């Protein structure tokens, strides 16, 4: 638990695909090695950025097991095994821990939302299995995990902390109460860490500039933080992970294969991103090139 709480930079790692839409493990391994080289503390496997919602449970759990086998001695492996279905969340979480993951990321039931008491019961059942980060992202679930909920869950022995997208004031409130928080908003994460006391960030941006995100978490650096704001905000110009997928394709880090329903950013949006990425030193980017790409360069799979 101490090691998990000491992790200040965790990357929500992307899942790459082959031209047939299958998980591309060779490219995945390269992406993870880039994270290790940059000093990232851990990865979330099959999260929103890793498109866990587009993976079958078999693919999802194989990817967690693969990550543990290949990288478990170098990184914390956090499996996103949450679900809006309590039975599925319990089953997947048990399998994830059996495969050797260090912790799970759990979300409150989305779409088919439940009561406050139901949310607490759902998350308690998964906390009973092993160490867990609780993810609060009301923009996706439609239901905010308020302090009324989190303060109850924080009493559980397996509660690590919260990935909080509710802003730095919420993070500061929790941290003052001894509840560990990681920012879920990259553009707020530097200030969250150095001004509001967060434990760190679970980051999308670190997929493309892990070393720079490492710097932002290790030391207060307003100049660097300001210089990255445009990139961070552009990475969310469409629902995540559309922009980070497109970005890693533009830098040649992954093949230009999308699983539907995600499609590439428009050429106009890519041009904006190209300019922002071009302003970053090539040695700080994941990928060996930078190109705008044409619309017909992208392949769409189901």
Q: Is residue 28 part of a domain?
A: yes
In the numeric block, which tokens belong to residue 244? 């980070």
Q: Is residue 195 part of a domain?
A: yes
pLDDT tens sequence for the chain (302 residues): 899 999 999 999 999 999 999 999 999 999 999 999 999 999 999 999 999 999 999 999 999 999 999 999 999 999 999 999 999 999 999 999 999 999 999 999 999 999 999 999 999 999 999 999 999 999 999 999 999 999 999 999 999 999 999 999 999 999 999 999 999 999 999 999 999 999 999 999 999 999 999 999 999 999 999 999 999 999 999 999 999 999 999 999 999 999 999 999 999 999 999 999 999 999 999 999 999 999 999 999 99
Indicate which residue of 17, 163, 174, 274 is catalytic.
Answer: 163
Q: Is residue 242 part of a domain?
A: no
Q: Is residue 105 part of a domain?
A: yes
Instruction: List the domain range (segments joined by +) for residue 76.
Output: 2-219
- Separation of first and last alpha carbons in the chain: 38
In the numeric block, which tokens belong to residue 49? 């950025």
Q: Is residue 238 part of a domain?
A: no
Number of domains in the chain: 1
Q: Is residue 241 part of a domain?
A: no
Residue 17 a catalytic site member = no
Q: Is residue 39 part of a domain?
A: yes
251: Cβ–Cβ under 8 A, 6 or more apart, which residues? 208, 277, 285, 286, 287, 288, 289, 290
Residue 157 a catalytic site member = no
CATH label of the domain that carries residue 135: 3.20.20.70
Pick from 17, 15, 5, 97: nearest CA to 42? 5
Q: What is the pTM of this model?
A: 0.97
Indicate which residue of 2, 135, 177, 262 is catalytic.
Answer: 135
Q: Is residue 233 part of a domain?
A: no
In the numeric block, which tokens belong to residue 65? 């097991």
């Amino acid at each position: 638990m101490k090691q998990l709480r000491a992790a200040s930079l965790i990357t929500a790692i992307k899942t790459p695909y082959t031209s047939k839409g299958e998980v591309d493990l060779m490219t995945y391994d390269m992406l993870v090695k880039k994270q290790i080289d940059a000093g990232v503390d851990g990865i979330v496997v099959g999260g929103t950025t890793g498109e866990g919602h587009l993976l079958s449970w078999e693919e999802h759990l194989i990817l967690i097991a693969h990550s543990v086998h290949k990288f478990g001695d170098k990184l914390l492996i956090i499996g996103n095994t949450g679900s809006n279905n309590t039975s599925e969340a319990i089953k997947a979480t048990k399998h994830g821990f059996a495969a050797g993951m260090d912790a799970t990321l759990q979300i409150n039931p989305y779409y088919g939302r439940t009561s406050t008491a139901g949310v607490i019961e759902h998350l308690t059942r998964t906390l009973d299995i092993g160490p867990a980060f609780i993810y609060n992202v009301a923009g996706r679930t439609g239901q905010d995990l308020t302090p009324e909920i989190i303060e109850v869950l924080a009493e559980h022995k397996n509660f690590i902390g919260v990935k909080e997208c509710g802003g730095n004031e919420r993070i500061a409130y929790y941290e003052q109460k001894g509840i560990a928080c990681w920012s879920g908003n990259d553009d707020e994460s530097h200030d969250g860490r150095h001004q509001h006391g967060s434990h760190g960030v679970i980051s999308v941006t670190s997929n493309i500039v892990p070393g720079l995100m490492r710097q932002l978490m290790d030391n207060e650096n307003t100049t660097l933080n300001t210089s990255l704001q445009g990139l961070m905000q552009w990475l969310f110009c469409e629902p995540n992970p559309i922009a980070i997928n497109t970005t890693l394709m533009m830098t040649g880090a992954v093949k230009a294969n999308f699983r539907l329903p995600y499609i590439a950013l428009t050429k106009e949006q890519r041009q904006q991103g190209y300019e922002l990425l071009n302003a970053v030193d090539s040695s700080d980017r994941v990928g060996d090139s930078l190109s705008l790409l044409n619309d017909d360069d992208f392949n769409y799979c189901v």
